A and B are shown apart, each in its own frame.
Chain A
């Protein structure tokens, strides 16, 4: 029989339901693949073999009892390590939370488990999600499965790499400024940031509360749609007052025709100097593929988009400073021993517990919110936010989705980008989506002619039109597949089939 990494989420759930294989067999195959591939990838901070086998056994027992199985029955899933899962640590890849046991299970994780998913473990990330390469993890690097000398992107780099390397079928990440879409692009997988409010944030350690949104990674648009169905099936989460009621049916309408739908492109952006020629070429390919599917291309403009990075780096760090204030070493997290005063303990615990980028963002936030400074930066940033949101509203009056690069380049090599400002600038194409709260999805378009590395194209849709957005994403995927540019569902070649045989 084939390796489990050749199967999509739907095929695994169907196979488990049909009795072709058991959830336990899939879980063991996934553990086997993880064992074989992890030494080179290091996507995981913690592999939860015990929890996985227990959950899989429960799925098998339900089937044996004749009970109905969930959408994700037996599907191996990994969770970014800023999501609580009882029985695992939630470290946020930080020394501050190195030994922190999850106090409860996050709603997004709970919903995946309720759908029958098998929890394989917690994935590496930039510390507290501050970064775009996963290099700021306090524990180790994660390597890009397409070229292990390259970064997987970030901050959800572990989740993207685990899916790309075929260690798991699905993974959840969180996206504050591109942290799902950019690593999806770098690792050649599909990554979706739903509209703000679609997925509950309860149990996800906050970075920027007004920007954070949880979403799935998969190796096909269909797998991502299935995960979305599982995430929204139980309705809005009463524990997150910003969460909204969203109907399921992502998968059901995925193959519907996109004939007559319109995609917006921004000619100026397509020629942006930061884009490498192969990324530009990928965008052209994507445009052609969508055209082949009957999508009309229109030109749109987001006049204030250039200000989004400035606005983001006022709003994001301000919220981060506030959200991370609770890590003072008193109740949880790292506590500096032997201190004689509270002030000393707080200062030294934070000095040890936080890495350089986490400190930089919090100090920036503390400055930006200070009396007298607030009016100069935070407040105007919120005004820019309003402008960007209305830019989108105007643009979406003319189209169903906007096509953008997910990143200006393919994955870079370790250490190649060390200047924080340069790292921040790489988020240019993803950040405005978080600023406005819209949905965005990254779809692989193929490998770059120059680097041979995956390139993803991003589609952004209006708020709460995520179903339509995924339909457009599927049309793009279908078009590229039909023209032979990509093969949805495939694992990074160096790792495909390495361990993970379904016995």
Chain B
């Protein structure tokens, strides 16, 4: 098969996403007071309501409504003053009432959008003639959001015995209703995405947004954020939509990207060989890097949707909506732009820091505590060192940045110091002193090291002198190693060049 970049020169992919997000930061379920939890023993957080017992009635969780309204505001949606819950019927034991309480044609949030900024290699998936690209190849596209609606999650089922963990061949099926009734918001995009990279970025940006709102932990791995991808392709210039397939099991950003890329190529191959694409649901197999048919969708299911008579229509007041709006914090893109404008950060660094609310919080605490000229070093630490840590405090980051900025320690030493203080309240400077990690600026001592290294590395010296200047990096590394990391790499570099000139 050709790769997706080539295929997309001849074919246009039309991609839409359905993203389910569990509101994991809430305390209780959507329609009852049962506790939300991911790891309690099965069927311990259940009650007559979420077990669908006869006589039980739903009472909506106002916190969940607040969360979805905040999600809508953050994605530029129109918040509907009046909306309804609907019942969606299907007979399957993961939904205890045999209907799911969800929303009908009018969702709490309608018609929003997110602006996607596609940069780097990923931007190359989109042919130049389809979009206006900046000098570096990056481009911005608006992705429309059709709706975000509120619903309840289903129970978890485990099928024992048989093959593939599917109910049809199982010897028995176990149901854990702990998850049943978990508040879930489903976001549906318009089919505006054109490349797998755009889809991946959209998901990433959505995840950052929801995490910044604090409405979910958005774990693709644990399934608190789940994504289905719909894709069809058509010849460049063709107006008619092709037949779409739906992709499941996209439980990582990479899976989302790779499954869509595979599927686009597969569909192109089918069509180019004169075949037809069937409307079907396909399962991504990450180990074999391919999608396989789960079920054909020849007719659409009839869910017999109708307004839930147990739940009165929702009339959201202006006060309620404004209260939600006031609770929406600064979002990642705004944060990124502010970091660039106020602190002179590189756009990519600013974006990375802004994307994670916990990291951004540390960054902001540190920048107000350090001198202005240390801020680039702070950003460097936050971008390159912080992601590997578990519990580092702002004070520790500030101290470390100071040590780096005034050349007291090397970057390699900084990494080690951070590892040491991670999870403790130790002061990085103390660690540096205890371990004798202060960089030597004693030029004589450094010269001795340089000379030793030059004698040992005669081959590299010859290569350098023959014109291979890049070998200097290796020699600096050898000097650093010989000085046990206490030498200043810039000084070593300078001294080496001087010596090699002669």
Q: Which residues of A contact B (CB under 8 A)?
A: 82-84, 90, 92, 97, 100, 103-104, 106, 201-206, 208-210, 238-242, 318-319, 321-322, 325-328, 330-332, 341-342, 346, 366, 369-371, 374, 378
Contacts and interface: CB of A to CB of B under 8 A. Distances in A.
Interface in B41-86: 48, 51-60
Nearest to A329: B93
Interface centre among B52, B92, B173 (most CB of A within 10 A): B52
Given A326-B52, A331-B96, A202 B57 contact: yes
A241 B60 CA distance: 8
B311 A241 contact: yes
A90 B168 CA distance: 33
Given A330-B93, A331-B52, A371-B302, A322 B57 contact: no
Contacts of B266: none
B155 to A, nearest CB: 10
B27 interface: no
Nearest to A242: B312
Contacts of B51: 331
A374 B98 CA distance: 19
Nearest to A240: B57
A239 B311 CA distance: 11
B56 A202 contact: yes
Contacts of A210: 309
Nearest to A106: B55
B63 to A, nearest CB: 15
B302 A370 contact: yes
Contacts of B305: 369
Nearest to A315: B309
Contact of B55 (A205, A328, A346, A370): A205
Contact of B54 (A205, A322, A369): A205
Interface in B393-435: none
A322 B312 contact: no
Contacts of A341: 168
A226 B54 CA distance: 28
B89 to A, nearest CB: 6
Given A325-B97, A326-B97, A209 B54 contact: no
Contact of A326 (B98, B173, B308): B98
A178 B467 CA distance: 101
A239 B59 contact: yes
23 contacts: A83-B55, A103-B48, A103-B53, A104-B48, A202-B56, A206-B57, A209-B308, A209-B309, A210-B309, A238-B59, A239-B59, A240-B59, A241-B58, A241-B312, A242-B310, A242-B311, A325-B97, A328-B91, A331-B52, A341-B168, A342-B92, A369-B305, A370-B302
B11 to A, nearest CB: 33
Contacts of B92: 342
Interface string B159-171: 0000000011000
Contacts of A328: 91, 93, 98
B87 interface: yes
Contacts of B372: none
B306 A378 contact: yes
A201 to B, nearest CB: 6
A155 to B, nearest CB: 16
A328 B175 CA distance: 15
A97 B311 contact: no
Interface in B303-325: 304-306, 308-312
A225 B304 CA distance: 41
A493 B92 CA distance: 53
B178 to A, nearest CB: 15
Given A322-B99, A325-B99, A97 B54 contact: yes
Contacts of A203: 55-56
B91 to A, nearest CB: 6
Nearest to A367: B304
Contacts of A325: 89, 91, 97-99
Nearest to A330: B93
Contacts of B310: 206, 209, 241-242
Contact of A206 (B55, B93, B302): B55
Interface string B272-307: 000000000000000000000000000000101110
Nearest to A347: B91
Nearest to B93: A330
A240 B302 CA distance: 29
A383 to B, nearest CB: 13
B489 to A, nearest CB: 67
A240 to B, nearest CB: 5
Contacts of B309: 208-210, 319
B103 to A, nearest CB: 16
Contacts of B89: 322, 325, 369
A164 B309 CA distance: 33
A144 to B, nearest CB: 29
B87 A322 contact: yes
A322 B59 contact: no
Given A326-B54, A332-B54, A342-B173, 8 more contacts: A92-B54, A97-B54, A206-B54, A210-B309, A241-B59, A242-B312, A322-B99, A325-B98
A181 to B, nearest CB: 21
A201 B57 contact: yes
